[in-house]
Amino acid sequence: MGAAADNHEESSPLLPTAGIAAGDCEKLPTAPAPEAAKGCADGFPVVMGEPVASYAGGVPRESWDSGILSCLGRNDEFCSSDLEVCLIGSIAPCVLYGSNVERLAAGQGTFANSCLPYTGLYMLGNSLFGWNCLAPWFSHPTRTAIRRRYNLEGSFEAFTRQCGCCRGLVEDEERREHLEVACDLATHYVCHPCALCQEGRELRRRVPHPGFNNSVLVMMPPMEQTMGRGM
C-alpha cells in the first residue's frame, strides 16, 4: 500500500514532477496566453493587447491632425464639422467636452456624466474666481487619454524637438510621461477652449459618433394572406 501511494503521488499532475533535468524544463508545455481582455486606462475603456499607447519599442509618435490654434480647422471633408466644433467650444464648452468623452468612451452614457460635472465646475469657478479655473482641472485627463490612445506627440516632446534641448528627459519614458501630463494640464489652463476644440477635431476624424453605430432594424410588414375558396 505504501509503494502504491508513492507511485500515485509521483504520477499526480498537481505535484511538481521529480527527476526532470534542467534542460528538459523548457520542453514542457506551457499554458496558452490569454486572449486580449478589456481594460481601462485613465477612466476610458480600451482593449488590452492593442497598440493603443505603445511609446516603448521605438514606435514613432504621430502629430495632431490640427494645431491648437487652428480654430477653423482644415479645408477638407470635415470643414463644416470643424466650424461646428469651434462654435460649440466658444459658446458651450461643456457640450463639447461631453461629446469628446462620449466619442472616446464609445458612448456608454458618458455624455451626461461628463457634461454635468463640467457645467457645475464651470459655474462655480466663474462665480468664485471670475474665470473658468476649475473645469480645466477636471477635463485635462481627456487630452492625456487621447494622446496615449492614438500615440500622439505631446507638447513637451514637440518643444524639445524644435529647440533641441532636454534630450535626456525625452529618452526617459517614465519621466517624460509625467512632464507630458503636466503639459496637458497647463494647456487646458492656458488655452482651454482651443484645447477642447483641438481634441474635438481629432476625435471627429478618428472616431464616428457612437449614435451612428447603432444598427437599424427594419420591420417588414407581413404579406397579405388570402384564403382559398372551398371546393
193-231 pLDDT per residue, tens = 999 999 999 999 999 877 665 444 445 555 555 555 554
Number of H helices, E strands in the chain: 9, 2
Measure the CA–CA gap between 107 and 214, rounded to whole angstroms: 11
In this predicted structure, the answer to whether residue 15 has a pLDDT above a threshold of 80 is no
Least confident of 40-49, 71-80, 143-152, 213-222: 40-49
Strands 38-41 and 44-47: antiparallel
pTM for the structure as a whole: 0.67
Measure the CA–CA gap between 114 and 149, rounded to whole angstroms: 19
In this predicted structure, the answer to whether residue 112 has a pLDDT above a threshold of 80 is yes
In this predicted structure, the answer to whether residue 192 has a pLDDT above a threshold of 70 is yes
In this predicted structure, the answer to whether residue 42 has a pLDDT above a threshold of 70 is no
136-154 pLDDT per residue, tens = 999 999 999 999 999 999 9
Measure the CA–CA gap between 61 and 53, rounded to whole angstroms: 10
pLDDT value of residue 222: 59
